[in-house]
Amino acid sequence: MASETRPTGAGSGLIAASKTIVSQSTDSPQEARRFDLVWICETCSKPIDNGTGWVHIDYRDINRAEKDLPPEPTGFRVDLGAWMDWKPAHWQVHHKACDPDMDAPDYVIDVDRARTHAKLLGWTAHLMGKTWLDSTDWQELIERQAGAR
Ligand SMILES: [Zn+2]
């Protein structure tokens, strides 16, 4: 925006306003959490800044999970063992630089597009349209980001 480069005049008000928003999100870790979701890299355990990482899932992992899914229970017979052995496809969180498999056929969400609870809710609505969502651990991911665990 051109007005942001102007040192004085109407533009400076805009700069001040945006700086106030930035300082609100850096008051304390607790305050920051209210505004922004923190994504932690599974490889280096450090937070991921916008533009440097993603939430992703490997389609091959989804295919594996769907193939291994225990059969629907019939009558009174539920194969608990099969369910306990079953692992949903795993949503991974990585810095691009830490991603162990850059060539994987992944479904990718950049962290800057999932930085707030509202955006994560939007992704959840979108992903609920996918037949494969139930074969993944998306529920765990949103429970974690909701602070439920
Ligand atoms: Zn990392």
| Domain tally, the chain | 2
Residues 85 and 134 in one domain: yes
Spatial contact of 75 and 91, defined as CB atoms under 8 Å apart: no
Please give the DSSP secondary-structure letter assigned to residue 33.
Answer: H
How far away, in angstroms, is 95 Cα from ligand 1 center?
A: 4
| pLDDT over 90, % of the chain | 62
Q: Which of 34-38, 120-124, 133-137 has the lowest mean pLDDT?
A: 34-38
- Write down the pLDDT at residue 32: 52
Residues 47 and 106 in one domain: yes
How far away, in angstroms, is 106 Cα from ligand 1 center?
A: 17
How far away, in angstroms, is 53 Cα from ligand 1 center?
A: 8
- Write down the pLDDT at residue 77: 75
For 29-48, how does the pLDDT look when each residue is reduced to its tens digit (9 = 90+)?
555 555 689 999 999 999 99
Residue 29 lies in domain: 1-35
How far away, in angstroms, is 27 Cα from ligand 1 center?
A: 24
For residue 57, give the nearest of 120, 117, 148, 127 by alpha carbon: 127
Radius of gyration of the chain (CA): 20
Tell me how far apart the alpha carbons of residues 112 and 55 are, in angstroms, rounded to a whole number. Answer: 10
Residues 102 and 31 in one domain: no
How far away, in angstroms, is 80 Cα from ligand 1 center?
A: 36
Tell me how far apart the alpha carbons of residues 39 and 41 are, in angstroms, rounded to a whole number. Answer: 7
Spatial contact of 55 and 141, defined as CB atoms under 8 Å apart: yes
How far away, in angstroms, is 96 Cα from ligand 1 center?
A: 8
57 three-class SS: strand
Residues 72 and 5 in one domain: no
pLDDT greater than 50 at residue 110: yes
Residues 21 and 50 in one domain: no
